[in-house]
Amino acid sequence: MDPAALRELHWHPNADEWQYLLTGTIRATLFGSRGRYREASLDVGDVGYIPQGSGLSLENVGSETARILIVCNSGTYETVAVSQWITGQPVDVLAVNFGTSAATFEAFPKRDAFITRRLAARLP
């Protein structure tokens, strides 16, 4: 991952995921049910763990390219990306449920973004 790259929010419905950082510095963010989340910075040699079904995103917060060995404990790779999930929902339903305008969701990517760059500075 290049500096400032972001692996979009996604989850694995059939596997746990481990990340082993080979180079660089990343921030791993885990999202759980009921608004639970956790962030962790990983440096070279660190290992991150995301339980099956939990949402996760990875962000290169360093100044060099990050190389990550990612392992899932299933023989079949399955992933659901947030962009994929949102584009499959009616924008008016999303607007009502998230308390915002439909235009917010019309601006989302129409395909899986996979790895992208941050669009704005992180909030404190």
Pick the CATH number of 5-78 from 2.60.120.10, 3.30.565.10, 3.30.70.260, 3.40.50.2000: 2.60.120.10
Residues in the chain: 124
> Could you tell me where in the chain the CATH 2.60.120.10 domains are found?
5-78
Question: Which residues on adjacent β-strands are paired with residue 30?
Answer: 38, 56
Alpha-carbon distances, residue 38 vs 23, 41, 83 (angstroms):
22, 10, 21
What confidence tier does 119 reach under pLDDT thresholds 50, 70, 90? Answer: low
φ, ψ at 87 (rounded to 5°): -70, -15
Per-residue pLDDT of 31-87, as tens digits, reads 988 888 999 999 999 999 999 999 999 999 999 999 999 999 998 999 998 888 888
What confidence tier does 121 reach under pLDDT thresholds 50, 70, 90? Answer: very low
Alpha-carbon distances, residue 88 vs 14, 103, 111, 120 (angstroms):
20, 15, 10, 25
Tell me the pTM.
0.79
The reported pLDDT for the residue numbered 104 is 86
The reported pLDDT for the residue numbered 123 is 40
